Amino acid sequence: MKVVVQRVSQASVDVVNELGTIDPTFEPQQIGPGFMLLVGVSDEDGEEQLSWLAHKILNLRVFEDEQGKMNRSIKDIGGEILSISQFTLFADVPVREGRFGAHMRVGLINDGPVTIAIDTDNL
């Protein structure tokens, strides 16, 4: 698995239909302070990778404490997570073919910015 973790003040996602308008069958999602995750999953990924990754993300100490130092986890602040499937993290560019999934519009206010890439190949 490959994940890009972004600390955000807020983030949202909605789905765009073929007409280029927001798809009314998809309920837009939004969060306040927390993480927006772009998640790529490969055929080799399983429970071990998922557990390791969840533990790693939940314990990242990138939120400020009372002294303004990055020393708190998302659990400590009661933050939220918006997870977005992002198969293109495994892209071998140039892209040759295919269209997968829906066209999405993702909005975020990156806080910091703090952006961390995690790859379970480094387990």
Q: Which domain holds residue 62?
A: 2-122
- CATH code: domain of residue 65: 3.50.80.10
Helix then strand count (H, E) for the chain reads 2, 7
Catalytic residues, by residue number, are 86-88
Condensed to tens digits (0 to 9), the pLDDT of residues 68-111 reads: 999 999 999 999 999 998 888 887 667 444 445 667 778 888 88
CA pair distance 2, 88, nearest whole angstrom = 10
8 A C-beta contact, residue 108 and residue 83: no
Element (H, E) at 48: helix 47-58
The number of distinct structural domains making up the chain is: 1
Both tokens assigned to 121: 């190949």
Residue with tokens 């997968």: 100
Give the pLDDT of residue 31. Answer: 95
